Amino acid sequence: MRIPLIKPNPPRLSEAADELRAIEDRGIFSNFGPVNSAFEHDMLVRIFGGVGACMTVCNATIGLMLAIQQAIGNRPKQTRYALMPSFTFAAAAHAAMWCGLTPLYCDIDPLTWSASAADEERLLAKYGDEIAVVMPYATFGYDIDLARYEDMMVRHGIPVVVDAAASLGTLSAENRGFGTGFSGWVVFSMHATKAFATGEAGIVYSGNEACVAQLRQMCNFGFGAPRTATMPGLNGKLSEIGALLCRLHLEHYEDGMAHRANMAQLYRDLIPGLTFQLARDHRQAHQFAAALLPEDLVASRSDLATALRDAGIGSASYFSPHLAQQSYFAEHSVWDDLSVTDDLGGRVISLPMFDSITPAEVEEVAFVMNREMARLPHMPMQRPVRTTMPHSAAPALLEVAARL
Ligand SMILES: *Cc1c(COP(=O)(O)O)cnc(C)c1O
């Protein structure tokens, strides 16, 4: 592809020979070593204004598993659902399922594309104490309303683990890193596909320092006493070399973030026929340029992708199919009405975004998009097929009921 969908830009390890040699000379390669500790400290100060605590993990999926496991530790036995939007990445549902929970999908808001507040409240009322954890997704780095979740934790006594996988680089209205001060859990990814990319790594942040201190033990086999497991655990640690990549990246990620924000605005200006996520005044980390096709072009989405590919331009349609439309999750999850998710999932398209994308390249993508959107047949709007629960999910539900 001449203009790929993404072009990961991690720091160049080949140019960090001195730092690599220092790790070798020190002989410490993992277990929250000095490079990792220095990175966590810098991250906390530079992104979270020194408030709360953060811990590295080898990737965000493991980070979610650890956070969920800790969050549900004190929940009553009958709790079994993880309330999350279906419009998200597979990792969220997998992490909940590894913790023994059943994903319960809520619908999304048509403007922010993140969990609908009204639908979350409806499901909290309907399922009540059966919900073990609420797992909102900060969609494509969007600054979701964390004050609302803070309030939810107090009102319902249900823990909230935020999937903020794509949000490193997003700022809050207070100009702090997204998540700053939140007393639940906020999990970030530094996977190669994110705006803040190092390859494989993640961060779990919490405004509650004690929470992160215990999570660090869970992340190291649950060793609460020397080499003795005193709590659930696994190995989720980041290597010193992985931490070095993170540390180097933290030095100059700001330029890429600012550039991505400018290019996202350029897409908005140049392709008026698309609908974009509600814009904020403060910076959002843009993983790619996500947009919605007009309803009368839904049937032409794959033709559009083909035309882009023929022009040397990469594209995708995250997150379509959404979770409830993926066979494994359909078999093992619960939902009722996902109307907005179905509509949005059918219309979403992801366009190229990377640190080095030029205005000329964005103009080229916009030119092809505008040309094809004018040329492709516009079909009268058809209601998308609703994603309903498969009959095969019934035995799984009975099985859950039988366990009670
Ligand atoms: C990328 C992503 C993850 C997983 O992050 P990893 O670091 O690759 O494990 C989880 N949730 C969402 C929404 C993501 O986009």
**pLDDT on residue 87:** 98
Mean pLDDT of the chain: 95
For Cα atoms 45, 49, 50, give the angle at the middle one, nearest 5 degrees.
60
**pLDDT on residue 70:** 98
Query: Is the distance from the beta carbon of residue 202 to the nearest atom of ligand 1 less than 6 Å?
Result: yes
**pLDDT on residue 76:** 82
User: Per-residue pLDDT for 399 more than 70?
Assistant: no
Convert the pLDDT of each residue in 208-247 to its tens digit.
Answer: 999 999 999 999 999 998 989 999 999 999 999 999 999 9
Low-confidence winner among 38-52, 323-337, 374-388 (lowest mean pLDDT): 374-388
Q: What is the mean pLDDT of residues 341-366?
A: 98
For residue 314 the two structure tokens come to: 């990469």
pLDDT band for position 400 (50/70/90)?
Answer: low
Which residues lie closer than 8 Å to 292 by C-beta, 6 or more apart? 274, 275, 276, 344, 347, 348, 349
Convert the pLDDT of each residue in 122-136 to its tens digit.
Answer: 999 999 999 999 999
User: Per-residue pLDDT for 396 more than 60?
Assistant: no
pLDDT band for position 105 (50/70/90)?
Answer: very high
Of ligand 1's atoms, which has the minimum distance to the CA of residue 201? 7
213 CA from centroid of ligand 1 (Å): 23
Query: Is the distance from the beta carbon of residue 165 to the nearest atom of ligand 1 less than 6 Å?
Result: yes
125 CA from centroid of ligand 1 (Å): 29
Residue bearing tokens 């969908």:
5
Query: Is the distance from the beta carbon of residue 88 to the nearest atom of ligand 1 less than 6 Å?
Result: yes
Supply the Cα-derived Rg of the chain in whole angstroms. 22
Q: Which of 5, 89, 161, 286 to mutate to test the pocket of ligand 1 (most atoms within 8 A of CB)?
A: 89
**pLDDT on residue 394:** 52
Query: Is the distance from the beta carbon of residue 92 to the nearest atom of ligand 1 less than 6 Å?
Result: yes
Q: What is the mean pLDDT of residues 4-27?
A: 97
66 CA from centroid of ligand 1 (Å): 14
Distances, alpha carbon 360 to alpha carbons 118, 263, 272, 304, in Å: 42, 10, 17, 20
Of 219 and 78, the structure prediction assigns the larger pLDDT to 219
Q: Which of 163, 187, 190 to mutate to test the pocket of ligand 1 (most atoms within 8 A of CB)?
A: 163
Of ligand 1's atoms, which has the minimum distance to the CA of residue 59? 7
268 CA from centroid of ligand 1 (Å): 26
Which residues lie closer than 8 Å to 276 by C-beta, 6 or more apart? 267, 268, 290, 291, 292
Convert the pLDDT of each residue in 120-179 to its tens digit.
Answer: 999 999 999 999 999 999 999 999 999 999 999 999 999 999 999 999 999 999 999 999
Query: Is the distance from the beta carbon of residue 203 to the nearest atom of ligand 1 less than 6 Å?
Result: no
Percentage of residues in the chain with pLDDT exceeding 70?
96
Convert the pLDDT of each residue in 258-298 to its tens digit.
Answer: 999 999 999 999 999 999 999 988 999 999 999 999 999 99
User: Can you list the positions of beta strands (E) in 9-155?
Assistant: 53-57, 81-85, 102-106, 131-134
User: Per-residue pLDDT for 115 more than 60?
Assistant: yes
Query: Is the distance from the beta carbon of residue 93 to the nearest atom of ligand 1 less than 6 Å?
Result: no
Of ligand 1's atoms, which has the minimum distance to the CA of residue 194? 1
Of ligand 1's atoms, which has the minimum distance to the CA of residue 193? 1
136 CA from centroid of ligand 1 (Å): 13
Q: Which residue's C-alpha comes closest to atom 2 of ligand 1?
A: 165
Q: Which residue's C-alpha comes closest to atom 8 of ligand 1?
A: 191
Convert the pLDDT of each residue in 182-195 to its tens digit.
Answer: 999 999 999 999 99
**pLDDT on residue 77:** 80
